[in-house]
Chain A
Amino acid sequence: MKRADLLNGAGLLATLVAIVFAVSAVTGSAGSPRQSASAPSQYDADSSPQSAITDATGHPVDIGERRRVVAASTTAADILVTIYERDRLVGVPSASASHRTRAHLVAGLPTFEALSDLERIISLQPDLVVTNGHAAERDIARLRERGIDVFDLGPMAGAEAWLGDVTELARLLDVEERAVAVVDEFNAAMRPRDQTNMRALYIGVYGQSLYGGATGTSYHDVLIAAGLHDAAADAGYSDWPEYNAEEVLTMQPDLVVTADGMGRALCAHPGLHLLAACQTQRVIELPSELLHDPGIGMPDAARALRNRLQTHNTD
């Protein structure tokens, strides 16, 4: 018994140690060619700080033109078709190709499901892959091991973050001047006008779950751009909170913005029939493709919301 304990314990310990060694050995050997491959650029980066940009994962990526770019997120695809040559785009996510209003911009380009579809992406032979936040680090690491530049824009967090993405990507591709016009146009479209005193709240309704979008989200920015106050931001919420009915009732918004088809479910949610917005029918449904667009679609969403507000007010 005692001996069996000792033997098995030692075996277990040895296994654990072996795993640690194996992992460090493998990652070490995988890391070295990557480092040697990017060594010149790092050297350049040291001598001239302008020659590389650090992405959201903390990884430096060389500035310079690219011939074969894969957009691994819809946001990246939206930015790339706006600021770069379309014929240098060699792959987009299938979600971009099936987008209701912007599919034509990427029509005919090869598609894939997600960044995790590594073989498909590698077979497109890109020299740059642009992605957005939610990508798994191990997928990015596999691509970098193959010498492919991967630039991670980081999470999408509203208008400011999106403008930062545009500027950064333009710098990376050495076409900074093209970003200026895009940024100006976006800012002009998102500038609040017809300012009202109405306190509005974005709510998405899924079953019994209520989801919001407050400071640092496109939902917040769209409400502001439409001349509304964001009741969630005023109440101290940020990012994408999950609400319960009590919290929504406490905020008492004058108006609720939701996606098409959800208004009825919202006011049928236990307790929410008491919401002023439900009683005065100030629940505005926007097409979900506009409402949920965290990037280039925000001005369109704001415009649609303004229009709906006007028809509501003239009613």
Chain B
Amino acid sequence: MKRTYALWGTLLLLSGAAVAGSLYTGAGDLGDESLRATFLRLRALRTAAGFGAGACLAVAGVLVQALFRNPLAGPSIVGATAGATLGGQLALLGGQGLIAAGVAARLAPEMLVPIGAIAGALFALSALLLIVRGSNDPTHVLLAGFLLSSLFLSIGAFALSLAQDTWELGRAVLSFTLGGVSGRGPGHVAIVATALSAGLAAAMLWAPSLDVLLSGDDEASTLGVDVATTRRWGIVWTAVLSGGAVAVAGNVAFVGLIVPHAIRPFAGVMHRRLLPAVAVAGGLFVVTCDVATRLISVKANMPLGVITGLIGAPLFLLLLRRSQLLGESHG
């Protein structure tokens, strides 16, 4: 109990600091009274988008690690991340044409990419469920997810090469691919907040099943868990969470893999305690990395996904070493 208070106290304190830092850091000058409110609003939106995306990815990470009892699983393994990324890329490619043709006249132009990403995630999810239909073997899911991801990545690379015809479009597609939360608006925050609340609520509802599922399919099944249904819905919610994250923040690497590992030693492995803590920690991690992108370079924007990867990979190795020393393995 004491440990729980300490964890939440630390998380909330650090999150407060990260949010404050995020509001304080930026290219605009807060001394300019006429623009101060605007700058703060922009930074608040960006912070909310980053926090939501980080939380989504971290919760999705916990889901897949439990569903596949694989500590190396990240949300990307079910293919939804790659699908959402491809959807966003295609929306960027086709978006200019759609806007010019007035097809998207009723739609806020800034919503084209998120909508493309969500469509991509849903497409990836449907394809995955169609491929593994009827099979209860996690290996099939992992293989199908891997194949779909590879396919989407190849098509995405082709889209990127097509975009090179227009130099700015090529930059934009690449920038989306590498992740970032600059210039996000209320629409983006609404998307990620919806995905997060739905995904987190669903994950909390499935939490007891996920706990039992850590003992493997057979034991969980005899203890009363509907393994196939749990896994199917777990995959769906993972897709919703990671699709929502990609829709507002592009492809942000490593969050879903590392945050659950970093939090388990403090929150434990039981999902009702783990999930909320992981959500806050994921948000905290991405907001901190986003502040870092703003501090490192004001002009040549450092992609968020690169920073999360640069910080995430060494941190992951550190955690891995630590857990080896403790002789523990976190499923």
User: Hey, which bits of chain A sit against chain B, CB under 8 A?
Assistant: 95, 204-211, 237, 240-242, 244-247, 249-250, 260-262, 264-265, 268-271, 274, 288, 292
User: Chain A contacts of B186 at CB under 8 A?
Assistant: 270
Asked whether any CB of chain A lies closer than 8 Å to the CB of B226, the reply is no
Which B68-120 residues have C-beta < 8 A from chain A? 88, 91-92, 95-96, 99-100, 108-110, 112-113
A270 with B99: in contact, given A206-B168, A208-B110, A242-B175 (CB under 8 Å)? no
Chain A residues positioned under 8 Å from B169 (CB to CB):
206
Number of A-B contacts (CB under 8 A): 106
Q: Which of A205, A207, A250, A292 sits near B28, CB closer than 8 Å?
A: A250
The stretch among B37-45, B129-137, B141-149, B269-277 that forms the contact with chain A is B37-45
What is the distance, in angstroms, from A305's C-beta to the closest C-beta of chain B?
A: 18
Residue contact B38 to A269, C-beta cutoff 8 Å: no
Cα–Cα, bound, A274→B38 (Å)? 8
**Of A207, A250, A262, which one neighbours B35 at CB under 8 angstroms?**
A250
- Rounded to whole Å, the gap between the CB of A126 and the closest CB of chain B is 23
Q: Is the CB of B231 closer than 8 A to any CB of chain A?
A: no
Nearest neighbor of B32 in chain A, beta-carbon distance: A250
Interface of A is mostly: mixed
Task: Choose one: B42, B165, B172, B299; the contact of A207 (CB below 8 Å).
Answer: B172
**Additional A-B contact list (20), CB under 8 Å, known A209-B175, A261-B100:** A207-B95, A208-B180, A208-B183, A209-B171, A211-B171, A237-B299, A241-B299, A241-B300, A242-B301, A244-B182, A245-B42, A245-B183, A249-B28, A249-B38, A249-B39, A250-B29, A262-B96, A270-B184, A271-B38, A271-B183
Instruction: Tell me whether B229 is interfacial, beta carbon within 8 Å.
Output: no
Most chain B CB within 10 A, of A207, A240, A250, A261, is at A207
Residues of A within 8 A of B26 (CB): 244, 246
Query: Does B110 contact A249, Cβ atoms closer than 8 Å?
Result: no
Q: Which chain B residue shows the least CB distance to A271?
A: B42
Q: Which of B27, B92, B96, B110 contacts A244 (CB 8 A)?
A: B27
Q: Is B237 an interface residue (CB 8 A)?
A: no
Is B185 close to A, CB under 8 A?
yes
Q: Are A260 and B100 in contact (CB under 8 A)?
A: yes
CB distance from A103 to the nearest CB of B (A): 16
- Of A204, A249, A264, which one neighbours B99 at CB under 8 angstroms? A264
Find out whether the CB atom of B110 lies under 8 angstroms from the CB atom of A265. Answer: yes
How far is A262 from B95 in the complex, measured between Cα atoms in Å? 10
- In the bound complex, residues from chain A placing their C-beta under 8 Å from that of B99 are 261-262, 264-265
| Neighbouring B residues of A260 by C-beta, 8 Å | 100
- Is B176 in contact with chain A by the CB < 8 A criterion? yes
Q: Would A270 and B100 be within 8 Å (CB), given that A208-B110, A249-B38, A250-B27 are in contact?
A: no
Query: Which residues in chain B, 1-42, are within 8 Å of chain A measured between CB atoms?
Result: 26-29, 32, 35, 38-39, 41-42
- B166 CB within 8 Å of chain A: yes
Q: What is the bound-complex CA distance between A25 and B109, given in angstroms?
A: 56
Instruction: Tell me the minimal C-beta distance from B298 to chain A in angstroms.
Output: 8
Residues of B contacting A288 in the complex (Cβ-Cβ under 8 angstroms): 166
Contacts of A270 in B (CB 8 A): 42, 45, 110, 183-186
CA distance A260 to B109 in the complex (A): 14
Interface residues of B in 149-178 (CB under 8 A from A): 165-169, 171-173, 175-176
Q: What are 27 pairs between A and B in contact, CB < 8 Å?
A: A206-B168, A207-B88, A207-B91, A207-B92, A207-B110, A207-B113, A208-B110, A210-B183, A211-B168, A211-B172, A242-B175, A244-B26, A244-B42, A244-B182, A245-B183, A246-B43, A249-B35, A249-B38, A250-B35, A265-B110, A269-B183, A269-B185, A270-B45, A271-B38, A274-B35, A292-B166, A292-B167
**Docked complex Cα distance between A260 and B99 (Å):** 10
A240 and B171 alpha carbons, distance in the complex (Å):
11
**Residues of chain B contacted by A211 (CB below 8 angstroms):** 168, 171-172
CB distance from B245 to the nearest CB of A (A): 15
How far apart are the CA atoms of A204 and B172 in the complex, in Å? 10
